[in-house]
Structure 1
Amino acid sequence: VVGSGLVLAIISRSLPLLWRDALPARVRRALSESPGLFAAVIAVMALVLYCVIARYVFSARPLLIDELAQLLQARIYAGGALTRPVDVYPEFFSMLHMVDTHGTVYSQFPPGGPTMLALGELVGAPWLVGPIAGAVSALVFPLILKRFETRTGVIAGAAALFAFAPFVAYMSGSHMNHVTTLMWLMIAMAALACVITSKSPRPRVALLSGFGFAMAASIRPVDALAFALPAGIWYLSRALKDRTRWADALAAAIGVSIPMLVVMWVNTRTTGSALLFGYEVLWGKGHELGFHTPPWGDSHTPARGVELINLYMLRLQHYLFETPVPSLVPAILALALTRKLHAFDRYLLTSAGLLLGLYFAYWHDGFYLGPRFVFPLSAVLALWTARLPFLIRDRYGDGLLYRSTVYSMLVAVAMAAVFSLPVRTHQYRTGLLPLRWNADSAAAAAGVRDAIVLVRESWGSQLVARMWALGLGRPRTELLYRKVDTCLLDEAVMELERANIRGDASMAVLRPLLRDSARVVPTMLSSDHSERVLPGSTYSLHCARRIAEDSAGFTLLPPLLLARTKGIVYARDLHERDTLLLKRYTGRSVYLLKPPVAQAGAEPKFVRLSRDSLWSVWKR
């Protein structure tokens, strides 16, 4: 890349056609004269790109369990409720990240994210929320930069790099709440920049700033804290120096309080406490920030925190721009060449550092479409990347080094577009096929109506849902599932179900099974390698049947819970326990939904079942 840039720079000295000073000048002039129009053009182009990605790369569907849970909650909100009742037999309909205790079902996530999706759900297009939010961020970002960046070329370059960065574009085509969080952060920072650069108090704009930060907090509290805390300190310090600025500080505080009061009201109505979120109800205190034993996985220590931050940076090097040159290199070089920072630069860098510090103390490895926990850094990195050629020109002149830098960056972008992005797009477009399957269309084509559809999941997934229904809770279920032979655990759970032993009493029965936890290993008998086996153990006929079913193919229930066809009930196939549903839905036809073959990506098929045959088999 660098070599190609150097060669092009040398050739451009002899071929003026390769280097046109007039073109960048026209762009800078247009940006200076109509910054709003420039931002709008970038935003419209970004919106089109994000919509194409949403429809044709991600099939306009949620593909991660986080997205599924939040979209399910969005439908509850769109229906005019905060929760829905728990089914009498929750094991048939339960789902990861959905709280189903104390008689109600709701998402573990803060209410802001599902609320954003609910707006799309009301118009029948929740997939549009991400693209629109991403486009708003692309619109606002150059307007923020206009407040403190004097070089119009930097503003134009940063706006384009941010809006069309592959990491930003792919994420904006998804249902992930990182996109709406960043949108509100952008709005908040735009208002903050306006207030800070104003010579007189701007309480109304400060109110918008506080409101934006709080809206971001209603979606992703940690991300919002990283940017809101330095902003709050900035407001306070200015008020202490100039009493007229207390109007800004108080207005910002009022802006923060409005969404936060709503969040606390929702928490009170769902979790029972204003400051208790759903993920704590579901997973306990181990879900919080800090160095402790998490709900699953290894203990989170400072060493692991450093490991995770390093991993996020390595992933960001690749996923941000998808260029052959590591994505962070230009930004690092630009920082090294900078002699003096603007106050807003210090704010952004402080917030970026705080974001990394907070996730240093968080136990989970957040990866989807890239290092999603550091998604807000994409705008900061785009800005510093765009500054590099201008800093080189200011320091070393507009000679060979400057031209080599510009050409090297253009070559890197071209190589990403030609080589990296087609591969990445194909990877995303062809992945997670079971989650893309359109159950409504398939049911209509198969003539399925007014039916109970038993969805064949893996043996492990069935077992986990049954343990949840016993009242073991998510953390204890994770512990048992990961540390106990699946066959032994299944047979023990079956006995608990027959004896109707639940809650702490069921854990007391199952705890002795952990004595061999150090010896269990992932099974090679099933295609679901999350299942465990104790070396040397012998499987019963019952367990052998479950392994055979796994080998014959299985699918996923959660995406089917979002199916829209009325009259069709999708429920987890739990074999003998299915009689509980058949007694309830006496007049409906019964289908089994599973792939015909155990092949990755095989579409599931509806298989008509006879009620009499089912009763006969289950009575054996």
Structure 2
Amino acid sequence: MTDRLDRALTLGAALLLVAFGFFPVANWIPGGHEAPWYGPVAADLLTGLSISIGAGVVLAIASRHFGWLWREGALTPLGGRIGHDWSRTVAVVAAAAFIAYLIVAREVFDGRPLLIDEIIQVFQGRTLAAGHLWLPAAPHQEFFSSLHLVEQDGRVYGQFPVGGPAMLALGTLAGAEWLVGPVSAAIAVIAFGGLIRRVEPRPLVALAALLLFALAPFMVFMSGSHMNHVTALACLTVGMLGLVRSALGDTARFGDGLLAGLGFGLAATIRPVDAAAFALPAGIWLLWRAVTLRRLAPLIGAGIGVALPVVVLAWANLQTTGAPFRFGYSVLWGQAHNLGFHITPWGAAHTPARGLELLSLYFLRLQTYLFESAAPSLIPAVAALWFTKRLAPFDRYLLMASGLLAVLYFAYWHDGFYLGPRFLFPLLPVLAVWSARFLPALAMALGTGVVTRAAAFATIVAVGLGLATSLPLRTRQYREGMISLRWDPDRAAEGAGVRNALVFVRESWGAELVTRMWALGISRPDADAIYRAADPCRLELGLSALERGEMRGGAARNALLPLLADSARLMNAESITGDPSLRLTPGVEYAPACIAKLEANRAGFTLYPPLLLARKFGNVYARDLGGRDTLLLAQYPDRPLYLLKPASTRVGEPPRFVPLSRDSLLLAARSGR
């Protein structure tokens, strides 16, 4: 029975990786998500695979004539030394990986949060570091609103669970928020090193798994960011280490169970879905051992360990959202944000077909982002699973937990893509383990003849080609991306002598329209749906009328709903607007006010959310909302005024501080300009 279950697990996992990782399932389902890049990427990977296999075959044949190319058992002494001093090996690998993470954080990402998720979580972290769970809303909060910021009953806080920002708060207190990712990743490496040697008896295979886990480009790049996937993975690996010690140790210790529970519980405060995928199978395993072997202590310890962080999470939610298990994103986006098949916050339906499309995209992306090798990254894991017929207990756990994670994200509507398929980041342990077992599994099934030798040499060639070609390209892509978000407003303000000023930030016309809808009490989902469907000029004129009439909430939403009919006629006009999200209606003569907005848009705009983190020299950064700016002039009567906007429309052009005249602003507002 166990053998059949093991075979079902290995074959099922291998077939899942093949189906979603090698075939463009997303492109075969009409509508919804697609992978238009599949053809070129697949061609590149096939070319790299062909070169690697060809070189591998040549070297394998040559090794039969040149003994120095392949010596049976040459690495056995190294394995013995590694196995004897495993702790030192883990320390060396963790230290080397930590240095790599630091370099990426500083040299590739400039030590700055770049994605909106990172920015808002750093904002939350700073709020926590100041001793608050939320901040009081400003009298005119629309000037300071942002995507992912919740504004509820006079409170302002980020939408994310408290655990991730709490980790960043430690970085805030240390004066180095950018260190949180590298430190957390190093902890994950140490924990993984502690557990892999307990579940993998072959020292060289354990070392290979440790190296793949620690130095996979997906791991290295993500660990240099501010994303909460890194802190969550650190907690998950700590939880798995405690689980291994609890379930596979000679004694049933309360402390090991407590460690497992704390790891999974802390992960739940950061990324609840990821924690559920790994904690539920762990709990079932410990419960089974408690019932069959009378080992209650680890189960009790794990229960207490999980409960402690979750209680803190529930308390934090109660203080912010008003309910212990209601998260900020549910307040902001409603039930549409939750797992399941329903209408999404963007208005489209998430169906099982859309879920399959997303899984397809995730695993297809893993082929390149996981190892950045010249050949498909999933081949080693697939082959190892295919040739393996029996599993150790931890292997069963890891495959089941990883499968559950895939199922949960199958039921989630958002395409989580940043630095790779980030929702699959917790699969790094299972992929590292099975990739490391590739060559031993092949040797056990086919012997150490030409095929196994060719596979070994091909693997080395594929990795070498990736290091020489793909990895430098990816590094340059990340280093040169998101240029406008790397700009340091505090340093620029210091250079321009801007202190204790009120600085209006010139955003795009589209961002202004969305913000004005928020200010009228229109929910985030409704505002997004209206913006995507409405002609921007008709929306501009409609908002102006609503603002003059002081209509808000549901009445304002209902007044704008007829604009949804514009959707069928809108066309992409990025060449005119400078903004891909701002679509226009062809053949329509726009009002002068709209023409002025378009001209301002073409002249250049900047992004407001990064300014939420500007905290030096006493400056107040607020959105430029045209005539509504006079509301802040009255609130800040004695501050010098500036407009922050790019000097030109050139890509990457940094914003500059342009002095403003208070009298000119008041005159423009009175004249309706």
Residue 135 of structure 2, aligned match among 84, 87, 103: 84
- The aligned counterpart of 1:211 is 262
Partner of 1:404 in structure 2? 454
Deviation at residue 379 of structure 1 after TM alignment: 1.8
1:315 to 354, 365, 368: 365
Q: State yes or no: 1:74 paired with 2:132.
A: no
- Pick which of 75-84 and 233-242 moved more: 233-242
Q: Which moved more, 1:288-297 or 1:393-402?
A: 393-402
User: Is 1:502 equivalent to 2:552 in the alignment?
Assistant: yes
1:39–1:140 Cα contact (<8 Å) kept:
no
Deviation string, structure 1 residues 165-221 (Cα, Å, up to 9, x no partner): 111100000000000000000000001001111233111110110111011011001
Q: How does 1:426-445 map to 2 (within 5 A)?
A: 426-445=476-495
Q: Secondary structure at the match of 2:590?
A: coil
Over residues 134-161 of structure 1, what are the superposed CA-to-partner deviations in whole Å (9 max), with x where a residue is unaligned?
Answer: 1111112122111121111110111111
Shift of 1:23: 5.7
Cα deviation for residue 519 of structure 1 reads 2.9
Whether 2:149 is the aligned partner of 1:116: answer no
- In the alignment, the residues of structure 1 paired with residue 437 and residue 597 of structure 2 have an alpha-carbon distance, to the nearest angstrom, of 59
Deviation at 1:22, TM superposition (A): 6.6
Match for 2:412: what amino acid?
Answer: Y
Report the Cα distance in structure 1 between the residues aligned to 2:530 and 2:541, rounded to whole angstroms.
13
**Given the alignment, which residue of 317, 322, 325 partners 2:375?**
325
Q: Deviations over 1:470-505 (max 9, x none)?
A: 111101101111111111111111111122211112
Task: Tell me by how many angstroms 1:20 deviates.
Answer: 5.2
The equivalent position to 1:377 in structure 2, one of 411, 418, 427, is: 427
In the other structure, the counterpart of 2:238 is 187
- Rounded Cα–Cα distance in structure 1 between residues aligned with 2:639 and 2:66: 77
Kindly indicate whether the alpha-carbon contact (under 8 Å) linking 1:54 and 1:173 is maintained by their aligned counterparts in 2: yes
In the alignment, what sits opposite 2:47?
A: none
Instruction: Say which of 47, 69, 78 aligns to 2:98.
Output: 47
Counterpart among 222, 237, 240 of residue 171 in structure 1: 222
Note if 1:287 corresponds to 2:337. yes
- Tell me how far 1:567 sits from its aligned partner: 1.3
Which amino acid is 2:544 matched to?
M
SS in 2 for 1:373: helix
Q: Which sits farther off after the overlay, 605-614 or 271-280?
A: 605-614
Per-residue CA distance 1:545-576 (angstroms, 9 max, x = gap) = 11001100111111111012131111111111
Confirm whether residue 248 of structure 1 aligns to residue 248 of structure 2. Answer: no
Larger CA deviation: 348-357 vs 609-618: 609-618
Q: Which moved more, 1:191-200 or 1:332-341?
A: 191-200
User: In the aligned structure 1, how far is the partner of 2:136 from the partner of 2:571?
Assistant: 38
Rounded Cα–Cα distance in structure 2 between residues aligned with 1:297 and 1:332:
37
- Could you tell me how far apart the structure 1 residues matched to 2:245 and 2:383 are? 29
Q: Could you tell me the TM-score, scaled by structure 2's length?
A: 0.90
- Residues 347 and 529, structure 2, Cα contact 8 Å, conserved in 1: no
Q: Show the counterpart of 2:349.
A: 299
Q: In structure 2, which of residues 56, 67, 71 is the aligned counterpart of residue 16 of structure 1?
A: 67
Contact 2:533 2:565 in 1 (8 A): no
Of 501, 504, 529, which residue of structure 2 is paired with 1:479? 529
Identify which of 226, 236, 253 aligns with 2:287: 236
One-letter amino acid of the counterpart of residue 207, structure 1: L
Paired residue type of 1:610: S
Residue 397 of structure 1, CA deviation: 2.2
The residue identity in structure 2 corresponding to 1:431 is G
> 1:613 aligns to what?
664
The gaps in structure 2 that reach 5 residues or longer are: 1-51
Q: Which residue of 2 aligns with 1:589?
A: 640
- The answer to whether the 8 Å contact 1:162/1:382 transfers is yes
Structure 2 residue corresponding to 1:598, chosen from 649, 660, 665: 649
2:350 corresponds to which letter in structure 1? H
Give yes or no for contact 1:290–1:361 (8 Å, CA) kept in 2.
Answer: yes
> In 2, distance between residues paired with 1:479 and 1:275?
27
Percent identical among aligned pairs is 51
In the alignment, residue 601 of structure 1 is paired with which amino acid? G
Question: Is 1:458–1:555's contact at 8 Å kept on the other side of the alignment?
Answer: yes
Q: Does 1:56 align with 2:104?
A: no
Deviations 1:94-139 (A, max 9, x none): 0100101210111101000000100101011010000011111111
1:532 to 579, 583, 606: 583
Q: TM-score, normalized by length of structure 1?
A: 0.98
- Report if the CA contact (8 A) 1:5-1:406 is conserved: yes
Tell me, in whole angstroms, the C-alpha distance in 1 between the residues paired with 2:293 and 2:383: 37
The whole-number CA distance in structure 1 between the counterparts of 2:96 and 2:381 is: 25
Deviation at 1:508, TM superposition (A): 2.0
Measure, in 1, the Cα distance between the counterparts of 2:152 and 2:518: 10
In the other structure, the counterpart of 2:31 is none
Partner in structure 1 of residue 626 of structure 2: 575
Q: Which among 362, 387, 399 is matched to residue 349 of structure 1?
A: 399
What SS is found at the alignment partner of 2:131? coil
Deviation at 1:283, TM superposition (A): 0.0
Alignment of structure 1 residues 15-34 onto 2, 5 Å: 15-19=66-70, 24-34=75-85
Deviations 1:425-474 (A, max 9, x none): 01000100111001111111111112111111000001111111111110
Q: Which runs of 4+ in 1 moved over 4 A?
A: 20-23
CA RMSD in angstroms comes to 1.3
Residue in structure 2 matched with residue 416 of structure 1 by the alignment: 466
- Quote the Cα distance in structure 1 between the aligned partners of 2:193 and 2:455: 23
Query: Residues 30 and 38 of structure 1 are in contact (CA less than 8 Å); yes or no, is this contact kept in structure 2?
Result: no
| Alignment counterpart, residue 520 of structure 1, candidates 550, 559, 570 | 570
Give per-residue Cα distances to partners, 1:222-277, cap 9 Å, x unaligned.
1111111100111111111122x122212211111100100000011000011111
Contact map agreement 1:472 1:503 (CA 8 A) in 2: yes
SS of aligned partner of 1:445: helix
Match of 2:32 in 1: none
Which of 37, 41, 58 aligns to 1:7? It is 58
Determine whether 1:261 maps to 2:311: yes
Work out the CA distance in 2 between the residues paired with 1:609 and 1:585: 14
**Alpha-carbon distance in 2 for matches of 1:450, 1:275:** 40
**1:557 maps to which residue?**
608
d(CA) in 1 for partners of 2:452, 2:564: 64
1:541 is matched with 592
**Could you tell which deviates more after superposition, 246-255 or 356-365?**
246-255
Higher mean C-alpha deviation, range 503-512 or range 172-181: 503-512
